[in-house]
Structure 1
Amino acid sequence: MTRLNWGMIGGGDGSQIGPVHRISATMDGFFTLRAGALDADPEKGRAFAQQIGIAPDRAYGDWREMLAGERNRPDRVDLVTVATPNATHYEITRAFLEAGIHVLCEKPMTVTVAEAEDIAATSARTGAICAVNYGYTGYPLVRHMRAMVARGELGRIRLCVVEFSHGFHADAADAENPRMRWRYDPAQAGLSGQFADCGIHALNMASFVTGENARELSADFLSAIASRKLEDDAMVNIRMDGGTRVRLWTSSVAVGSFHGLNIRVFGEQGGLRWAQQWPDQLHWTPLNGRTQVIERGAADSADAARATRIATGHSEGMLVAFANIYADLAEAIHARREGRAPDPAACHYPTAVDGLRSIAAIRAAVDSAAQGGDWVDARPPSLRP
């Protein structure tokens, strides 16, 4: 498979997510980092880009300069990753899609439903892929859970319980730290804080595994640190379009929880349990049977097999999960170029429509919380009957 040219916007020196993308995107040799506008400070961005091997003429000061420099190059970037603050996602993503350049956008894809509708429509109109980085769906055993549900091994799904909790923003004395302050600032984060930051990972995972989407929801938001304008804790009940009920809790003030992304799925014929902190084991309990542990590398689905890199008993983690999203995108891009259907096991990357559904759910949760937990339609306007 020919290497594809890759560019990055944001994710510069000191970024939490930037190194994860750079390692994961290049792990399999599918992409080479060729261009970047990596920092809000143009000179810092240019210097850091050159430091990590980007040629000086492709080390850009900002995303507009990058778009102007790349769009007409014969060797232009094939894919751009957008890893900037939430409020900038829409303008950057739309501009690159209009240029026919594929985009992987960090979540949330936009901050308003109207923007998300436009991104989904722009991707469909231009034919440029817009993926959204719900990277945890790249874990092999998460993909195996999806396969087990789709094969009917759990029977009808009754209930899905998901959470994404941590305690790293629990210290009120640290509330002005720039690395966390922006997450609770409506001007940079949008309508929602913790639910938009982590809760939609949990919601997307529930949708990914069950194959169902949010129809309506009821939410309760809490700003445990009173100075925050946006919530740092949320409890959301969701009715899915296939009948499954989802119970979702997300928090950034859960002291003692380090990265609590967990999912439990309960069906008529059995239940599944997986935790991101222990990603290589999936617990499966058949109805009236004993709990079994399915090890990564021993799961009997093509989806899990394609996403597994090393032998059973050796740990894989977040870098490989993200790398699986990039591997899916590489296959999708090559398939389009070659006029063929992509490998079915590579068709699980989250799309602009998934991003749109998430933004609609955020809007609904904000409205529901403001109305004291009233049930609110969680579907995007374009996807309602």
Structure 2
Amino acid sequence: MQKLNWGMIGGGEGSQIGPAHRLGAGLDGAFDFVAGALDHRPEAGITYGQRMGLADRAYGSWQDMLAGETARPDRVDLVTVATPNATHFEITKAFLENGFNVLCEKPMTMTVEEGEEIVKLARSTGKICAVNYGYTGYSLVRHMRAMVARGDIGKVRLVKAEFAHGHHADAADADNPRVRWRYDPAQVGVSAQFADCGIHAMHMASFVCGQEVTRLSADTVSCIDVRVLEDDAMVNFRMDGGTVGRLWTSSIALGRQHGLTLQVFGETGGLRWAQEQPNQLYHMPLNGRLQVIERGEGNLSPEADRTSRVTVGHAEGMPLAFANIYSDLAEAIRAQKEGSPMDPAANLYPRAEDGLRSMAAVYAVAASGQQDGAWLDARPPMFR
């Protein structure tokens, strides 16, 4: 099968996220990395791209890449946008308008209005616009979703999500440029910690439960008081299927490293998963004994089997979760080209609609926090 062409904007030398995308996109041999504008500094981007083997398709800017790839008969089939947050909307919009499929890092946009524009554009062009909520690519997260969907724990009553770390807990580090920008409204918008990490936890709750957040109440605080935006948030929410939600996100939780966890409590059982131990899913049946489900073991769901890549007992990590998102997208692009249906177990990549819902939640959390926890509508206007 001929490989698909893949290009990347951002994620250059020294980038935190770039290597994970390149590993994920290349793992299954579905994509060839053929084009990129990898740095906001033109010369650095071209030089690094050429070192990565991109030759004449190493571009100095995303505008140059758009023009160059639009003119080619072998243009990229998918472009990943891994640039600073404030640039996501402009770049994603431009590539969608010119007929490219896009995978955008989160947050997809900086405002709800921009998010609605991207959703409408993706629908009108018929192109794929995905958002990299990459943690939903983990095999056991997908098995968790399958267990909920087939009724293994009955009707879901409560979901508890966390994404807490302590890497910004040092008050002496508050003026460090590498940290300070994350709490600067001019660079990140109306929210810091919730927009950075909390939306991952909220999206995962929706993904696993198969429900959307409708309204929420938030308590937001800057525990390091020189910060304008929050470094800790507690969010209560309700979902359209009746599930009650609790979410805690923090960047000052010393002793926590990554801290993304999800617990789902149903009428007949409970489930628990943690990103730092992604190969185990804990299942507690009503009146039963705690069971440990191992990634890669037999008799799991098709969603889990498809996304389990190494034998049971061996660790799988974030790049392989990203690889599962890219595998989904490769199948979606081929189905698009051939006019054929997708395998339902692969049709799980996060959409532009998910990015829009997250941005609406960001604004609702920020507003609720300013209104002493008032309950607010968390839906974007176009979905109300």
CA distance in 2, matches of 1:25, 1:74: 22
CA deviation after TM superposition for structure 1 residue 180, in Å: 2.6
Aligned-residue CA RMSD (Å) = 0.9
Corresponding residue for 1:191? 190
CA contact (8 A) 1:10 1:38 kept: yes
CA shift, 1:61, in A, is: 1.2
Does residue 237 (structure 1) correspond to residue 256 (structure 2)? The answer is: no
1:186 Cα offset (Å): 1.6
Please list the CA deviations of residues 66-124 of structure 1 after superposition, one character each: whole Å capped at 9, or x if unmatched: 10111120111111111111111100000000011000000010010000000000000
Match of 1:151 in 2: 150
Q: Secondary structure at the match of 1:259?
A: coil
Shift of 1:58: 1.3
Asked if 1:97 is matched to 2:96, the reply is yes
Is residue 84 from structure 1 mapped to residue 107 from structure 2 by the alignment? no
Q: For the Cα contact (< 8 Å) 1:216–1:239, is it kept in 2?
A: yes
Q: So what's the TM-score if we normalise by structure 1?
A: 0.98
Alpha-carbon offset, residue 178 of structure 1: 3.2
Encode CA deviations 1:142-169: one digit per residue, 9 max, x unaligned. 0000000000111110000010011111
Map 1:199-278 to 2 at 5 A. Answer: 199-278=198-277
Name 2:10's counterpart in structure 1.
10
The residue that corresponds to 1:59 in the other structure is 58
With normalisation by structure 2, the TM-score equals: 0.98
Change (3 A) 1:246 1:305: same
Aligned ranges for residues 1-385 of structure 1 at < 5 Å? Answer: 1-55=1-55, 57-298=56-297, 300-384=300-384
* Distance in 2 (alpha carbons) for counterparts of 1:38 and 1:273: 38
Structure 1 residue 182: deviation in Å? Answer: 2.3
1:128, distance to aligned residue in structure 2 (A):
1.0
Task: Give the letter aligned to residue 117 of structure 1.
Answer: E
- How far apart are residue 175 of structure 1 and its match? 2.3
How many residues get paired? 383
1:279 is displaced (CA, Å) by: 0.4
- Distance (whole Å) between structure 2 residues aligned to residue 240 and residue 149 of structure 1: 15
Contact 1:361 1:379 in 2 (8 A): yes
In structure 2, distance between residues paired with 1:52 and 1:160? 43
- What SS does the corresponding residue of 1:164 show, helix, strand or coil? strand
After the TM superposition, which of the residue ranges 195-204 and 67-76 deviates more from structure 2? 67-76
Q: Does structure 2 conserve the Cα–Cα contact (< 8 Å) formed by 1:113 and 1:359? A: yes
Aligned equivalents of 1:225, 1:173: Cα separation in 2: 10
> Partners in 2 of 1:339 and 1:83 — Cα distance?
29
Q: Which runs of 5+ in 2 are unaligned?
A: none
Is the CA contact 1:87–1:187 (under 8 Å) kept in the aligned structure 2? no
Letter in 2 for 1:29: G
Tell me the CA shift for residue 227 of structure 1: 2.1
CA contact 1:332–1:347 (8 Å) conserved in 2:
yes
CA contact (8 A) 1:283 1:292 kept: yes
